[in-house]
Structure 1
Amino acid sequence: MSAAASARQILTRLHEIMAGRTHAQYKLDRVVETIAESLHSEVCSIYLLRQGALELYATQGLNPDAVHITRMGLSEGLVGAIARNIETLNLAEAKAHPDFLYRPETGEEKFHSFAGVPIVYRERAVGVLCVQHADPRRYEEVEIEALQTTAMVLSELIAHKELVDDVEAIDLGNANTETEVLEGLILVKGLATGQAVFHQPRIEIDQVVAEDIEAERQRVYRAFDKMREQIDQLGKEPEFGKGGEHVEVLETYKMFAYDEGWSRRINEAIDSGLTAEAAIERVQQRTRMRMREIDDPLLADRMHDLEDLSNRLLRIVSGQLGTAATQGLRRDSILIARNLGPAELLEYDRRRLKGVVLEEGSLTSHVVIVARAMGIPVLGRATGVLSQVSEGDQVLLDADRGLVTLRPGQALLDALDTRFAKNRERQAAYAELRDVEPFTRDGTRITVMMNAGLRDDMSSLAMTGADGVGLFRTEFQFLVSATLPARDRQMRLYRDVLDAAGDKPVIFRTVDIGGDKAVPYLNSQVAERDENPAMGWRALRLSLEREGLLKAQARALLEAAAGRQLSVMFPMVSEPWEFDAAKEVFEEQLEFLRGRRRLLPEAIEYGCMLEVPALAEVLEQIVPRLSFISVGTNDLTQFLFAADRANPKLAERYDWLSPAILRFLQRVVRGVEGYPVRLSVCGEMGGRRLEALAMLGIGYRRLSITPAAVGPIKELVRKVDLNEIGEQMSAWLASPPADMRAALKAWADERGIEAD
């Protein structure tokens, strides 16, 4: 008998049990008998979440006297781990697992193998279904799928309120009127307030077992056709007509929509006897479980895109098409979701959507790229937000500080209004400085440039009055593409950026991928996971090995800059020979184009990033070869302190105003003195007022910062006397105060210079 036929047989028997007019306990007793017999397993047990603990509710093979006696908390035992993590366990030796907990009253000491799956209702685990066997062996995939299907049938029983009398409390018992503050990961900065709106109402699956398998298959086929039509139509919306990296995000999204492997897995679930809705849900549950096992942030984000599509497909096939987007936002709203796909975000009314809070999400997520282009603040990894907020609750999103406040009191709302008013005043003051050149009080012109990475970022150049783009990150185009971006596509992006910049300079940094910026189209040898990705095979190291990648980018940049000046910067240079090798690739492509009588750039400048401390030891060797050098403070700081900036325990531990980093930066200033090379800083450090004040004091005269920081830094510059701050910084670095930050802030306060 085939696996599908065997699964159908189990489903049919389960359906007969559930359809009977018998007590719930009798039904569950019959279920465990059926599963144990079908899987030739010596034990099958069902645990249900009752009064906060997992209670043994039915068993075949364990001591029957333990039923309703054995109870385990969500932090206890294997069943607790399954429910707590909503994960599947498949163990050849249960006792070897760190969460194993022996309960003598069950008589389970003679059993070795263990497999269990969560019983999920409304995305919460309300029980566990598990099997055990005396022989140590892992259960086969088909057996695990049978358990997952059975768990879905059991969740249907719970949904009809025949079994768990407090099931409504699972969903409604979290109603709360207390103010709560959750921390999260800043994905897109900003400040917003509005009423909580759930992105996706939960779709109830009324029927799990299919009556006509072929009819269910046709329903799925029609739903796939309609979903793909919707995705194709999104590409024709006005937002996409302007171009931008979010177009490439949608292309990757479409790749999943047309993925045959996904549709095949849903068809296989239908073959086992599930309805179309149940088949999509089962595949989606397995996707969620896989997502919890994925450490690679890029792959995890790709799985989030697939979940987004699964939700869309489920709504179509069930006929329950209403979402917060399609129903329309009636008031200023903060969108609440587990995850959000880029296409779904674009469906919302920008006038009403003020912010997004995600239970999951990451900095590399596709939706972040789209949200940044839309100007919508986003907070991710706000653990527990789905369970702690109710539809319509007032929400205060502070994505500048990484906080979301649920049901804020009037005092907090008043404080928010004050912050909004101050922000508006400050923004108006900064806007007035747009065309004002940033001279210090002693008459020194400071160059204030901006960082960018998207085509859409270029609009900030005119809005802020920045002197140019000191760092254009070219890797975004690579990160959101399903395949290596073709040379002509790269060229169009670079040409558009130069067109948007007009007569202002743009420094293009060659691609910085690899390490923690993995892309799926690199072969496994290059893309293998580093234990320390920030210090691994990435940036120029990878580009020099994958010379074809760097050649294509060089050609694209040279052709895009035809008739104009081209400024190229190489990232993560550790030794001079790496710079020489990268420059040679560009020079070879320049000769290639010259030989074909192509229009060439009027001039080419080459520079590099100083992020690796080793480069500072050989400055006198490399500086004569450079037109400019830019200190990348983000990577440099973590390398100097051996502190991963992505680790929340270390993120705030090492201060940018530590004498160690400031002395290093001062040494770089002195190392380039006497050379005709432009020294600048690009990174978050230069965009923070107190840190920028310190950098001006140790000799930096060029800053490249986020567009939002340009106005505040220009305003700061006009209040500074370089001689005064220079003398003070020299004294402090010679004999550091106990707290450099406090000392500098006090110095600034005395002179009316705002530090924040």
Structure 2
Amino acid sequence: MASRMHAQGKLDRVVEIIGESLDSEVCSIYLLREGMLELYATQGLNKSAVHVTRMAIGEGLTGTLVQNVETLNLAEAKAHPDFQYRPETGEDKFHSFAGVPIVYRERAVGALNVQHVEPRRYEDVEIEALQTTAMVLSELIANAGLIDEEETGGLSESLTGMQTVAGLALVKGLGSGHAVFHQPRITIDQVMAEDIEAERQRVYRAFDKMREQIDNMASQAEFGVGGEHEEVLKTYKMFAYDEGWSRRINEAIDSGLTAEAAIERVQQRTRMRMREIDDPLLMDRMHDLEDLANRLLRIVSGQLGTAASQGLRRDTILLAKNLGPAELLEYDKRRLKGVILEEGSLTAHVVIVARAMGVPVLGRARGIRGLVREGDEILLDADHATATIRPTAQVGVAFDDRFARSREKQAAYASLRDVEPFTRCGTRIQVMLNAGLRDDMSALAMTGADGVGLFRTEFQFLVSATLPQRDRQTRLYRDVLDAAGEKPVIFRTVDIGGDKAVPYLRDEVAEFDENPAMGWRALRLALEREGLLKVQARALLEASAGRQLYVMFPMVSEPWEFDAAKQVFEDQLSYLKTRKKILPESIRYGAMLEVPALAEVLDDLLPRLSFLSIGTNDLTQFLLAADRANPKLAERYDWLSHSILRFLRRIQLATVGYDVDLGVCGEMGGRRLDALALLGIGYRRLSITPAAIGPIKELVRKVDLKEISEAMNTWLADPSLNLRAELESWARERDIDID
């Protein structure tokens, strides 16, 4: 690289050296030129193909790894679905393939590939050598002007009008403000180190400063003591002190890289490793590590200015590729009106913190950073999972009107806080809320809900890096009961596994679960790992000392499962009696009906139950064989289908004559039209999200149960009817708002 040879000659020599070092018959470099990937240098393929073979991004193995910015390591290249054969290269005799992207300023600008006649996967140390070499090459290639120039600012001049972007609602709500980019891009100007020991000392100092920042943030969180956000920060802090991470950065410096390049090099490797793991929870933890790596990179490079350090001067919508929980805490929540992420997921740590801050968040907004200029006005509608960039005056006025109506409605619903939900015919309906965080309990007082109909205990397990100890569980459950006062709280035992994977059980769960929703999860997992359920039972019993305890078991499919789970609690109760512990005043045991098979044996189970809750989310997808996470099946996943409502009515009728409290806990009960149908088929307890409490209370007060029951019986008798349309028409005639 230091020679005076021209760039083509240097790359020709580089592919020879790499091929010899890795004992590979082929080494090739592809570069992005005029929007296409062009074969620029090769050792082992036909030389006549150089500057002739070209492919689009996303085309073939090389185009795929550049598009995804990921490493490929294949023993048999032809077995990959994206493999394409280019006859002019003469590559038909080569079986193995490994390729890494050449990345410059966060952009994949080419690929470095090796191939071998014999099928074999390349060793990790060989892949790491390729990645380090690609990082060094990126500087040479860019300085030599061999790749396409990036558009100035990454934004086309034509993108000046209004744009609407769809995403995934992570924290619902409305917000408007001016676009602020969370993080300016850090450019690594020097890749090769002149003094390795000096680079090492720079990294040591940066680690010390970063850890000090994290410690300060953890002690200054604004939400009080003991919230789930505190558990998030503890896990996050654990990453900051991870010795393995700092050791890998030191090893990269030993290979001759600067401190900045070493941090980026290790992070590239982490990203590429994590892309190979199909585990949403581990992906979220990787985002926490990405947040820390970015922080460390800013410190070591002296480029410390994020938008948070500059301070927000006006109402702001924050934009980022991803965001860590500690970084969100740096922002002034009085000015922060919303967050839009290009990535993000419902289980990410930052979502838990944002919910505690009351900040709406839109995730999976692909490419939004390329559509927005700093300071652009943005209207964020996380209720409908959209964001409007540079809105027209007309759109802005409509949004403001909706915002105002939303505030008026919220004020009207808030006025119902102390109003008991009686129907027009005088029947009292129980309206309870669903919760899963200690911070959610404040909604009880704000909404006037009758209690917590579903407390999802698994949230504590999902935000912890290790299995939560009994004392931590006990403290959480006691705090929840204290916050509830005299109101009941139904604790659902832990529902992890399946799509709610936790790192400390990941290998056991992932080994067999091709269909996680119907796999080893919830009560099935808890009964097999009895120690987990024993610890939770003890924690709940001790936290409920002197009070009434409501326990609900999830995903019960046969009566013996309920009996086995209940016995775990009874055994722990007997143990506490021998220790002279204060016991719960009474214990009421219940089950969730999510597995359709349980409906066929209710006559056997009901005599042993105090209450039964219908989990409409899972039950519906099982009954309709329609994955609720699949957008193509959205129309099939219909709570107002005749089959679902007939099934729910059959369950209601099966409980008549038993001393069992029947209710629904799921999103269905929080939608006004669907709740109207539930009232019509006999349900008198609904457990729903806090935001739905006010709207459902208002609905209840407008309904005559005899009238809606007769109508539902008529409609369910005729499956040819469009039941949704009939119900909407019925509600409109009686001035019942169904929106």
Alpha-carbon shift at residue 291 of structure 1 (Å)? 2.7
In structure 2, what is the Cα distance between the partners aligned to 1:206 and 1:213?
A: 17
Do 1:196 and 1:392's aligned partners in 2 also have CA atoms closer than 8 Å?
yes
Corresponding residue of 2:313: 330
Which of the residues 161, 164, 171 maps onto 1:188? 171
Greater shift in the superposed pair: 566-575 or 130-139: 130-139
Alpha-carbon shift at residue 160 of structure 1 (Å)? 4.3
1:677 aligns with 2:660: yes
Q: Residues 574 and 107 of structure 1: is their aligned pair in 2 closer, same or farther, counting only changes over 3 Å?
A: closer
Do 2:102 and 2:135's aligned partners in 1 also have CA atoms closer than 8 Å?
yes
Deviations 1:42-77 (CA, angstroms, capped at 9, x unpaired): 433222212211122233443444333221111322
In structure 2, what is the Cα distance between the partners aligned to 1:530 and 1:204?
A: 42
Tell me the secondary structure at the aligned position of residue 349 of structure 1: coil
Corresponding residue of 1:532: 515
Which of the residues 421, 426, 431 maps onto 1:438? 421
Deviations 1:643-684 (CA, angstroms, capped at 9, x unpaired): 221222223322110010000111111111111211111100
Corresponding residue of 2:466: 483
In structure 1, what is the Cα distance between the partners aligned to 2:716 and 2:452?
A: 31
In structure 1, what is the Cα distance between the partners aligned to 2:505 and 2:92?
A: 48
In structure 2, what is the Cα distance between the partners aligned to 1:595 and 1:165?
A: 76
Task: Tell me which amino acid in the other structure corresponds to 2:367.
Answer: G
Do 1:184 and 1:402's aligned partners in 2 also have CA atoms closer than 8 Å?
yes
Corresponding residue of 2:86: 103
Corresponding residue of 1:493: 476
Task: Tell me which amino acid in the other structure corresponds to 1:333.
Answer: T
Do 2:715 and 2:721's aligned partners in 1 also have CA atoms closer than 8 Å?
no
Alpha-carbon shift at residue 230 of structure 1 (Å)? 1.5
1:139 aligns with 2:122: yes
Query: Equivalences for 1:653-692 in 2 at 5 Å?
Result: 653-692=636-675
Corresponding residue of 1:178: 161
Corresponding residue of 1:579: 562
Deviations 1:694-720 (CA, angstroms, capped at 9, x unpaired): 000111111110000000000011111
Alpha-carbon shift at residue 157 of structure 1 (Å)? 3.4
Corresponding residue of 1:646: 629
Corresponding residue of 2:96: 113
1:75 aligns with 2:61: no
Query: Equivalences for 1:694-709 in 2 at 5 Å?
Result: 694-709=677-692
Corresponding residue of 1:621: 604
Do 1:468 and 1:505's aligned partners in 2 also have CA atoms closer than 8 Å?
yes
Which of the residues 197, 222, 227 maps onto 1:214? 197
In structure 1, what is the Cα distance between the partners aligned to 2:549 and 2:457?
A: 14
Alpha-carbon shift at residue 169 of structure 1 (Å)? 4.8
Do 1:245 and 1:455's aligned partners in 2 also have CA atoms closer than 8 Å?
yes
Greater shift in the superposed pair: 373-382 or 434-443: 373-382
Which of the residues 369, 374, 383 maps onto 1:391? 374
Which of the residues 235, 253, 260 maps onto 1:270? 253
Corresponding residue of 1:55: 38
Do 1:120 and 1:152's aligned partners in 2 also have CA atoms closer than 8 Å?
yes
Q: Residues 524 and 118 of structure 1: is their aligned pair in 2 closer, same or farther, counting only changes over 3 Å?
A: closer
Do 1:158 and 1:167's aligned partners in 2 also have CA atoms closer than 8 Å?
no
Deviations 1:409-457 (CA, angstroms, capped at 9, x unpaired): 2222121111101101101110111111111111111111111110000
1:591 aligns with 2:574: yes
Corresponding residue of 2:711: 728
TM-score (norm 2): 0.96
Q: Residues 487 and 111 of structure 1: is their aligned pair in 2 closer, same or farther, counting only changes over 3 Å?
A: closer
In structure 1, what is the Cα distance between the partners aligned to 2:453 and 2:295?
A: 41
Alpha-carbon shift at residue 193 of structure 1 (Å)? 1.9
Q: Residues 140 and 558 of structure 1: is their aligned pair in 2 closer, same or farther, counting only changes over 3 Å?
A: closer
Query: Equivalences for 1:317-356 in 2 at 5 Å?
Result: 317-356=300-339
Greater shift in the superposed pair: 50-59 or 104-113: 104-113
Alpha-carbon shift at residue 26 of structure 1 (Å)? 4.2
Corresponding residue of 1:503: 486
In structure 2, what is the Cα distance between the partners aligned to 1:669 and 1:288?
A: 50
1:632 aligns with 2:580: no
Do 2:30 and 2:37's aligned partners in 1 also have CA atoms closer than 8 Å?
yes
Alpha-carbon shift at residue 727 of structure 1 (Å)? 0.3
In structure 1, what is the Cα distance between the partners aligned to 2:520 and 2:733?
A: 47
Task: Tell me which amino acid in the other structure corresponds to 1:468.
Answer: G
1:412 aligns with 2:417: no
Task: Tell me which amino acid in the other structure corresponds to 1:278.
Answer: A
Task: Tell me which amino acid in the other structure corresponds to 2:292.
Answer: L
Task: Tell me which amino acid in the other structure corresponds to 2:149.
Answer: D
- Aligned-pair identity (%): 78
Q: Residues 421 and 143 of structure 1: is their aligned pair in 2 closer, same or farther, counting only changes over 3 Å?
A: same
Which of the residues 386, 389, 401 maps onto 1:403? 386
In structure 1, what is the Cα distance between the partners aligned to 2:416 and 2:574?
A: 44
Structure 1 unpaired stretches of 5+: 1-13
Which of the residues 3, 12, 15 maps onto 1:32? 15
In structure 1, what is the Cα distance between the partners aligned to 2:414 and 2:372?
A: 37
Greater shift in the superposed pair: 353-362 or 424-433: 353-362
1:367 aligns with 2:350: yes
Do 1:737 and 1:743's aligned partners in 2 also have CA atoms closer than 8 Å?
no
Deviations 1:629-649 (CA, angstroms, capped at 9, x unpaired): 111111111111122212222
Corresponding residue of 2:232: 249
In structure 1, what is the Cα distance between the partners aligned to 2:506 and 2:314?
A: 48
Task: Tell me which amino acid in the other structure corresponds to 1:607.
Answer: G
Alpha-carbon shift at residue 517 of structure 1 (Å)? 1.1
Do 1:24 and 1:162's aligned partners in 2 also have CA atoms closer than 8 Å?
no
Query: Equivalences for 1:561-572 in 2 at 5 Å?
Result: 561-572=544-555
Alpha-carbon shift at residue 750 of structure 1 (Å)? 1.0
In structure 2, what is the Cα distance between the partners aligned to 1:92 and 1:566?
A: 57
Do 1:453 and 1:473's aligned partners in 2 also have CA atoms closer than 8 Å?
yes
In structure 2, what is the Cα distance between the partners aligned to 1:161 and 1:714?
A: 68
In structure 2, what is the Cα distance between the partners aligned to 1:101 and 1:238?
A: 53
Which of the residues 89, 105, 111 maps onto 1:122? 105
Do 2:181 and 2:374's aligned partners in 1 also have CA atoms closer than 8 Å?
yes
Number of aligned residue pairs: give it: 739
Alpha-carbon shift at residue 737 of structure 1 (Å)? 4.6
TM-score (norm 1): 0.94
Do 2:281 and 2:347's aligned partners in 1 also have CA atoms closer than 8 Å?
yes
Deviations 1:106-156 (CA, angstroms, capped at 9, x unpaired): 343444433221111232211112233444443333332222122212322
Corresponding residue of 2:452: 469
Do 1:161 and 1:167's aligned partners in 2 also have CA atoms closer than 8 Å?
no
Deviations 1:602-625 (CA, angstroms, capped at 9, x unpaired): 122111111111111111221121
Alpha-carbon shift at residue 336 of structure 1 (Å)? 1.6
Alpha-carbon shift at residue 194 of structure 1 (Å)? 1.9
In structure 2, what is the Cα distance between the partners aligned to 1:570 and 1:112?
A: 52
1:746 aligns with 2:729: yes
Tell me the secondary structure at the aligned position of residue 138 of structure 1: coil
Corresponding residue of 1:91: 74
Tell me the secondary structure at the aligned position of residue 216 of structure 1: helix
Tell me the secondary structure at the aligned position of residue 504 of structure 2: coil
In structure 2, what is the Cα distance between the partners aligned to 1:691 and 1:402?
A: 21
In structure 1, what is the Cα distance between the partners aligned to 2:221 and 2:285?
A: 25
In structure 2, what is the Cα distance between the partners aligned to 1:118 and 1:574?
A: 49
In structure 2, what is the Cα distance between the partners aligned to 1:618 and 1:162?
A: 73
In structure 2, what is the Cα distance between the partners aligned to 1:431 and 1:240?
A: 23
Greater shift in the superposed pair: 211-220 or 389-398: 389-398
Q: Residues 88 and 493 of structure 1: is their aligned pair in 2 closer, same or farther, counting only changes over 3 Å?
A: same
Q: Residues 70 and 523 of structure 1: is their aligned pair in 2 closer, same or farther, counting only changes over 3 Å?
A: closer
Alpha-carbon shift at residue 529 of structure 1 (Å)? 4.7
Corresponding residue of 2:290: 307
In structure 1, what is the Cα distance between the partners aligned to 2:529 and 2:120?
A: 44
Do 2:155 and 2:370's aligned partners in 1 also have CA atoms closer than 8 Å?
no
Q: Residues 439 and 513 of structure 1: is their aligned pair in 2 closer, same or farther, counting only changes over 3 Å?
A: same
Tell me the secondary structure at the aligned position of residue 167 of structure 1: coil
Deviations 1:291-312 (CA, angstroms, capped at 9, x unpaired): 3222111111111111111111
In structure 2, what is the Cα distance between the partners aligned to 1:317 and 1:527?
A: 38
